[in-house]
Amino acid sequence: MSQMIEVPIAGMDCTECTMHVQHAIENLPGVHKVNVFLGSEKAVIEMDPALVNIRAIRDAVAGAGYQVPEAAQTASPAVLAPDFNRRLTILMLCVFIGIAGIVVVGEWLGAFEYLNERIPFLAGMLVVLAGGYPVFVNVIRASLKRQVISHTLMTIGVLAALVVGEWVTALIVVLFMRVGDYIEKFTTESARRAVKELITLAPQTARVERGGEEVEIQASQVAVGEIVVVRPGEKIPVDGLVIAGQATIDQAAITGESLPLEAAPGTRVFAASLALLGNLRVKTERVGPDTKFGRVIKLVEEAEANRADVQRFADRFSGWYLPVVAGVAALTFLISRNPLSTAAVLLVACSCSIALATPVAMLASIGASARRGVLIKGGKYLELLDRADVLLVDKTGTLTLGQPQITDVVLVGDGERSDILALAAAAERYSEHPLAKALRALARQEQISLPEVESFQVIPGMGVRAVVGAHQIVLGNRRLLPTGGSLEQANLLEEQGKTLLFLQVDEKLLAIFAAADTLRADVHAALEETRRMGIRQVELLTGDNERAAAELARQLGITYRANLLPEDKIAIVRDYQAKGHRVVMIGDGINDAPALAQADVGIAMGAAGTDVAIEAAHIALLREDWMLVPEALQIAHRTMQIVRMNLGLTALYNITGLGLAAAGFLPPVVAAAAQSLPDLGILGNSARLLRHK
């Protein structure tokens, strides 16, 4: 019997760390699957509890050089990086000054030679071993498991320096190894920052009604169905339904939407939303990780599992890069017979920068995007979105609001518009049909009061009959007309894809109401932006009729296919993919779920209110804002641009460093110092993704 558990892991600073932890855990008997997440510092383990327990997992992690703390602690974002740019600037300045000092004082002025001559070698070696003890222990552990890590080369370089009697050089190497470790830790923590900011938004306590009193308890202990009391200035701790009270709600943590929501009885509210004004009593529907906010955090944390192809390449590159460097070092020694040049080759080539180039950028981008209302489930979807060229879109609820509105009121008989609209809306007073709601909404908008209804009858598939005052009202489709109706105005409206309601009062046709699902206001601008960003083909896929689809496609200047079933949409996606296109599908996440899953990138619109959207799509837009679509494309383009820059500059830097070291132009101490620079470059470059443009 399988069980899924989450285990916090402490001490991981780079992608290499996650690989070591994963290998250690997955080698335990009874462990079926392991995902280790650097961003959220945890392992998600699928295991057989009869064969493995938490103690065995803790021992395995400790054997890999890391720890499983008794309780996970969440650091405050303010503690992690109170002033990110200032700390980054100071760090880079210190490293550059350190390297310059080593070159000028140590190498050019002969300070290292002086220290080597005056201090006994044994004393110097003990200082080296003490300073590098944590690093050396990790290297020995990895070596015993036949693993080569980035510090393996550095350690060999230290040994090489000690062998030739250069203990001062070995000490400087250890110093920059420790500096490099700090840089990696700082880099990773900066990328984790957005995830931790999300976690800290979750309220920790809740005030519930129990036994006629208000009791404050842990938010995780609230039971479904309990009544939670929310006061002004407090965060809502659960997902639920407002049953009493009114308040202005800030839902930015969930949807990214800056405009507040006016909550009243019947309004659904989400955990981590802030009650700015007013009091609420909320009936609990979901708690903790099952809330919308909890699921958002989980998906952001686990986005690392879906690695981009470019990230997998970097992981594979790290695996064969180290043996190549060892080969270059051996060749350097065979040709030059110079142990210092050989040590310099080993020291300058640190694969950590290659391993960090992709995940740091992905972590930064995914976390920052979630705060903007764009929930990305993994780095590979950023890479696929960056290369997308075809956009397929659903109609109802995606391009349109999903709620019909009255677009035309055509008077064909005697009477005032307001009086006729009052009779029509009154006749539909007790109907729950979407068109009835649209009529009542129009009457409210025009501030028309409705007369009382004396009788009401629904005619299935046709409309309604009602008695309003002294009038006999018939309101419905063409089939309710005595002759079937053949009006020029009606035909013209139907050609535009609109749905018609015919109003008869006392057996006389007085008006035609036309309704249509209204296009979202920002669709035109958003589609224009997507074309500008590389999408060459936009196509409407809808189960609606041909006329409605044709009219909407005409308005947007796109192609369309109508009368489609869910399996038809999947076939269209597959057809585009078979032709070599990268396909993005946007839908509402319910009837479009199969096509969303089949597409290279499925995007769910307005997923804060749709469970299926978050499950089926690869990217979820947490508010119904079409401008988030080109924003997601922009995020993908920026992220991949920075990843490619990270990889390119790191590769160029390492190749140059290897060449200079092998040729004898780079002393070992300078080589050790210089290997810290690529990590700083990756940190600074990737940090740009944390700042939204």
Catalytic residues: 394
> Using CA of residue 11, residue 355, residue 660, residue 342, what is the dihedral sign?
positive
CA distances in angstroms from 397 to 402, 472, 504, 635, 641, listed in the order given: 4, 36, 32, 24, 33
In the block, residue with structure tokens 């518009």 = 417
CA distance 382 to 146: 34
Beta bridge partners of 456: 466
Tokens of 197: 């900011």
Check residue 236 and report its DSSP letter.
P
Q: Cβ contacts of residue 416 below 8 Å, gap of 6+?
A: none
Q: How far is CA 153 from the centre of its chain?
A: 36
What per-residue string of b and e applies to 99-137 under the rule 16 or more CB within 10 Å gives b? beebbeebeeeeebeeeeeeeeeeebeebbeebbeebbe
128-134 long-range contacts (CB < 8 A, ≥24 apart) are 128/158, 128/162, 128/167, 128/170, 128/171, 128/174, 131/171, 131/174, 131/175, 131/178, 132/158, 132/174, 132/177, 132/178
CA pair distance 660, 655, nearest whole angstrom: 9
Decide the pairing of beta strands 400-411 and 559-561.
unpaired
273 contacts 236 by C-beta, under 8 angstroms: yes
Q: Report the candidate in 267, 223, 226 with the shortest Cα–Cα distance to residue 249.
A: 267
36 vs 8: CA distance, rounded Å: 10
Alpha carbon distance 75, 44 (integer Å) = 20
Tell which residue, 132, 136, 142, has the closest CA to residue 173. 132
> What strand order describes the sheet that includes 390-393?
374-376, 619-621, 601-605, 583-587, 390-393, 537-541, 559-561
- Cα 440–Cα 443–Cα 446 angle in degrees, nearest 5: 150
Among 207, 265, 262, 267, smallest CA distance to 234 is for: 207
Selection from 635, 539, 553 nearest residue 585 by Cα? 539
Cα dihedral 93, 99, 104, 109 in deg (nearest 10) = 140
Q: In this structure, are residues 576 and 601 in contact, taking their beta carbons and an 8 Å threshold?
A: no
Q: Decide: 194 and 206 in contact? Cβ < 8 Å.
A: no
